[in-house]
């Protein structure tokens, strides 16, 4: 495996990690630019009373505001005044987006403007923390309340994802015979922030001499472990291992990107919204996320570390092909990877094809929806 290049200063990584942890605990963090301001996550705010009477700005993604009826660019981030007098009513639809929002909304569009750099960084920290992207940003008061538990500079917050993706390094390798693929080796890759490890499962002995079959598999606890019928993730995982065993080799990257990168808790929220009629894309948008929050730089980094610059990619998603190419990995062939739908996931698969550009044959799905299969 390739040697690991030197990365960013550990202190700056630690500062961002500490800041996102503070938000998860309902504490404030200071975000530093030329000046500094405080940020707290809406989801974990212990009480509006901690804000005092200071002016507060509510930062939200364009996706969330558009879902609430605001005329904004979905890809942008915005901020508007937050009225402490209406705090509890205003927070309710933001803390739990699965609830129907009140009408009229307790916050209007007055003084709505694009978020500045600190407000945008606060939203990024919320996402890094696995929280809903909604933040309260304000100046630090004379008494320093609420308690400031951490601080991070703006540049580090925005660079953090790439830092962590490029920092992964192998820490242990072990042979583990699998039910579907007898010759398998697991290689654990740890990022510089000490966070969740990524895993490469090597079937047989893939080498750079011929592009091996490769699958980028985003973890799915409900599908991979519990056999959820709402998606096809478990079938894709098992099918990839089986196909690699049949071909005599391959590499499966098990990536910690639950729910298209929004995390398990938010994926469960999205499931709640889907039960009310939203599709996968609209459910993520309603929560304030992009339709797909994943980035595959970490996958490209792992393949580079493994000495596999060219692969045959097992996927129906052209976006994965484009992402690997953007990060320096050559995909010599896209290998289709589809499985039969069931009555629980046919709508999910249709959404993948119609709205996310996945190359899936819709005819069997239409037949299933019409009760012909």
Q: How far apart are CA 121 and CA 59, in angstroms?
A: 10
Beta strands, E only, the chain: 28-32, 36-41, 56-61, 77-82, 113-114, 134-138, 148-153, 169-175, 184-190, 198-204, 213-218, 249-255, 310-314, 330-335
Beta bridge partners of 213: 312
Q: Measure the CA angle with vertex 228, ends 226 and 233; round to 5°.
A: 95
d(CA 257, CA 135): 22
- Name the packing angle between helices 297-305 and 154-167 (round to 10°): 40
- Looking at residue 225, the DSSP 8-state letter turns out to be I
Phi, psi of 253 (to 5 degrees): -100, 120
Q: Kindly give the pairing relationship between strand 310-314 and strand 330-335.
A: parallel
Which CA distances in Å does 193 have to 16, 164, 168, 253?
9, 7, 9, 20
Q: What is the DSSP letter of 50?
A: G
- Alpha-carbon distance of 345 to 222, in angstroms, equals 13
| Residues with a known catalytic role | 292, 294
Q: Please, which residues bridge with residue 333 across strands?
A: 312
**E strand segments, 230-280:** 249-255
For 146, half-sphere exposure in the C-beta direction (CA atoms, 13 angstrom radius) is 26
């Amino acid at each position: 495996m390739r040697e690991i290049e030197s990365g960013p200063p550990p202190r700056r990584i630690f500062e961002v990690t500490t800041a996102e942890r503070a938000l998860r605990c309902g504490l404030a963090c200071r975000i530093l630019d030329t000046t500094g301001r405080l940020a707290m996550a809406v989801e974990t705010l212990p009480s509006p009373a901690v804000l005092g009477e200071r002016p507060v700005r509510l930062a939200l993604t364009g996706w969330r505001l558009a879902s609430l009826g605001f005329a904004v660019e979905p890809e942008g981030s915005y901020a508007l005044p937050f009225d402490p007098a209406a705090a509890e009513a205003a927070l309710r639809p933001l803390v739990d987006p699965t609830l129907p929002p009140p009408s009229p909304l307790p916050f209007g569009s007055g003084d709505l403007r694009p978020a500045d750099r600190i407000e945008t960084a606060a939203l990024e920290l919320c996402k890094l923390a696995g929280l809903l992207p909604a933040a309260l940003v304000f100046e630090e008061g004379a008494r320093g309340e609420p308690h400031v538990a951490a601080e991070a500079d703006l540049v580090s917050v925005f660079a953090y994802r790439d830092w962590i993706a490029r920092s992964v390094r192998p820490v242990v390798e072990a042979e583990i015979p699998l039910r579907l693929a007898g010759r398998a080796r697991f290689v654990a890759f740890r990022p510089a922030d000490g966070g969740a490890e990524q895993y490469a499962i090597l079937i047989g002995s893939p080498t750079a001499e011929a592009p091996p079959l490769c699958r980028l598999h985003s973890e799915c606890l409900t599908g991979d472990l519990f056999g959820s019928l709402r998606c096809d993730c478990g079938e894709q995982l098992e099918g990839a291992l089986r196909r690699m065993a049949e071909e005599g080799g391959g590499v499966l990257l098990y990536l910690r990107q639950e729910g298209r990168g929004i995390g398990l808790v938010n994926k469960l929220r999205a499931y709640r919204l889907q039960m009310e009629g939203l599709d996968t894309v609209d459910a993520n948008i309603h929560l304030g996320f992009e339709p797909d929050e994943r980035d595959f730089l970490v996958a490209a980094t792992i393949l580079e570390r493994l000495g596999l610059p060219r692969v045959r990619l097992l996927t129906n998603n052209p976006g994965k092909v484009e992402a690997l190419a953007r990060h320096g990995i050559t995909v010599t062939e896209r290998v289709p990877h589809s499985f039969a739908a069931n009555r629980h996931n046919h709508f999910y698969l249709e959404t993948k094809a119609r709205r996310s550009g996945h190359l899936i044959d819709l005819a069997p799905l239409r037949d299933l929806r019409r009760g012909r299969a």
